[in-house]
Amino acid sequence: MGKPKERRILYENIDTPDMHTLDVYRQHGGYASLEKLFDMDAEQLLNEVRDSGLRGRGGAGVSAGFKWNLMGKGEPKYLIANADESEPGTFSNRYILQHKPHMLIEGMIIAAWSLGIHKAYVYIRGEFTLGKKRLDAAIQEAYAAGILGESVAGHDFALDIYTHAGAGAYICGEETGLIESLEGKRGQPRVKPPFFPAAIGVFMQPTMVHNVETLSNLPYIISNGTEWYQSLGAVYKDTPRGVDPMNTGTKLYCVSGHVEKPGVYEVEMGLTVRELVELAGGVRGGNEVKAVIPGGSSAPVLTPYELDVPVDFTCLQMAKTMLGSGGIIVMDETTCTVRALENLMDFYAHESCGQCTPCRVGTPWTRDIVARIEAGKGRPGDVDHLIEVANNVANIDTFTWNTICVFGIAVSWPAVSFARKFRPEFEAHIEQGKCVILPVSEAVAPPEENYAWPQELPELERKPTWDY
């Protein structure tokens, strides 16, 4: 097997100078999908997207076609592009906004036409000033060129796109929190049921919320067809019931941490963690990998024993973690996992919206326990205590949460997985009353002891074509 290679589709030509302008984008085939688009009706498009196997790239991995199917019938409907990319370790959308904003607009036109939407919003993270500037300019250009407005690209279809800058809250990346924030309220997620955005969303109307990356996939699916899209990515022979076998397309992996060449890598899904780390230039200074967070900071951590897990929806779910937003954080042997967890918990304690009890109290509580252990003030039994408190917010073993939104999971999963998988290092902190960094082999609990789901990974039927 050769060296794994990138397969750029969304990021194709992203480094081309002035790619953010309409002219350059058009020179490279931009807005080509619109020619095909208006010949297709809503049902055709829905089938197209469903059959392509496109899954939401924001975190939950819900099938886009499935979501479109649930869209309510009320008028008006709204489309929201979620550009609040707030998950630590994730930075792929910002480059799309900065360098290929027209791709997002094109994707939004496709989604809007398919669902009969005439008003769309882009909720941009407040810190993305350049991205917002570029997107705003791109929208202006598109209006001037007749791509947006009363008649989109000369067809009898009106679409307006508005941008809205968030104020930087993590929870406003959660779709109902985003909707509340967009409405001008406190960014607090809504209770589901009944407030599923597809039924009751922004301004109490049916709303489709998609991640920027998901929307950016649409032009390529429409231009090249579902079969082409299905040919990308991993396919598994048989997966247990309940696990969605669709892993089509490419994914923007944001590899960060202790690698030689951190950055966004677009590859077909199905590459293993080890291959991804290799793609990013390997671990810095030839060090050993100690821990890898595979899907943004909310995903349960992987140990060196699990580096051969393919990084896609199916396999990560079977390894009891998740693809999430595709933010891969690599930690090498110099990392103290307790310190790493404290850092994460500090973030979550700061970002909890405080609406519901388990999260409001549980998040700083777990942070305090971890901080205590890291500061050398841990007490015997603290690791179990930590796991119990975190599991009371959201239980990793039963996949349930007592909170309103899945923020509870985002807190509990890393906490429980770090504490279980790196238990020896946690215990060493408590015993020695100070921060100690154990060698990798000693720091990690053996898999059979602490991995809740020791699963056989499904066999890959066809390796994708990254080997060319």
Q: Considering the rule CB under 8 A, would residue 362 count as an interface residue with other proteins?
A: yes
Q: Considering the rule CB under 8 A, would residue 364 count as an interface residue with other proteins?
A: yes
Q: How far apart are CA 212 and CA 11, in angstroms?
A: 13
Comparing CA positions, the residue from 65, 143, 128 lying closest to residue 96 is 128
Q: Considering the rule CB under 8 A, would residue 334 count as an interface residue with other proteins?
A: no
Applying CB under 8 A, which of residues 31, 128, 253, 365 lies at the interface with other proteins? Answer: 365
Q: Locate 82 and state its tokens.
A: 């979620």
**Could you tell me the smallest distance in angstroms from the CB atom of residue 133 to other proteins?**
28
Residues 39-78, one symbol each (x = binds other proteins by CB under 8 A, - = not), give ----------------------------------------
Q: Considering the rule CB under 8 A, would residue 398 count as an interface residue with other proteins?
A: yes
Q: Locate 172 and state its tokens.
A: 């406003």
For tokens 């390529």, name the residue: 220
Query: Which letter does DSSP use for residue 41 in this model?
Result: -
Which residues between 337 and 356 bind other proteins (CB under 8 A)?
Answer: 349-356
Q: How far apart are CA 460 and CA 229, in angstroms?
A: 18
CB 386 within 8 A of CB 370: yes
The terminus-to-terminus CA distance of the chain in angstroms comes to: 9
**Could you tell me the smallest distance in angstroms from the CB atom of residue 360 to other proteins?**
6
Applying CB under 8 A, which of residues 11, 401, 413, 451 lies at the interface with other proteins? Answer: 401
Going by their DSSP bridges, the two strands 235-236 and 207-211 should be labelled as unpaired
CB 207 within 8 A of CB 100: no
Applying CB under 8 A, which of residues 218, 234, 328, 404 lies at the interface with other proteins? Answer: 404
Q: Considering the rule CB under 8 A, would residue 368 count as an interface residue with other proteins?
A: yes
Which residues between 190 and 209 bind other proteins (CB under 8 A)?
Answer: 191, 193-194
The region of 209-217, 266-274, 393-401, 422-430 touching other proteins under the rule CB under 8 A is: 393-401
If one counts every other C-beta atom within 10 angstroms of the C-beta of residue 188, the result is 19
For 422-441, b/e burial (b = at least 16 CB within 10 A) is: bbbbbbbbbeeeebebbebe
CB 402 within 8 A of CB 408: yes
Task: Closer to other proteins by CB, 126 or 354: give it.
Answer: 354
Task: Closer to other proteins by CB, 135 or 353: give it.
Answer: 353
Task: Closer to other proteins by CB, 203 or 228: give it.
Answer: 203
Task: Closer to other proteins by CB, 53 or 177: give it.
Answer: 177
**Could you tell me the smallest distance in angstroms from the CB atom of residue 169 to other proteins?**
8
Q: Considering the rule CB under 8 A, would residue 172 count as an interface residue with other proteins?
A: no
Q: Considering the rule CB under 8 A, would residue 357 count as an interface residue with other proteins?
A: yes
**Could you tell me the smallest distance in angstroms from the CB atom of residue 456 to other proteins?**
23
Binding footprint of other proteins, residue count (CB under 8 A): 34
Q: Locate 131 and state its tokens.
A: 């991205």
Comparing CA positions, the residue from 314, 313, 257 lying closest to residue 287 is 257
Which residues between 230 and 289 bind other proteins (CB under 8 A)?
Answer: none
Task: Determine the number of helices (DSSP H) and then strands (DSSP E) in the chain.
Answer: 19, 12
Applying CB under 8 A, which of residues 178, 264, 369, 373 lies at the interface with other proteins? Answer: 369
Going by their DSSP bridges, the two strands 400-401 and 394-395 should be labelled as antiparallel
Q: Considering the rule CB under 8 A, would residue 173 count as an interface residue with other proteins?
A: no
Q: How far apart are CA 89 and CA 311, in angstroms?
A: 15
Binding interface with other proteins (CB under 8 A): 169, 186, 191, 193-194, 349-358, 360-365, 368-369, 372, 379, 385, 392, 398-404
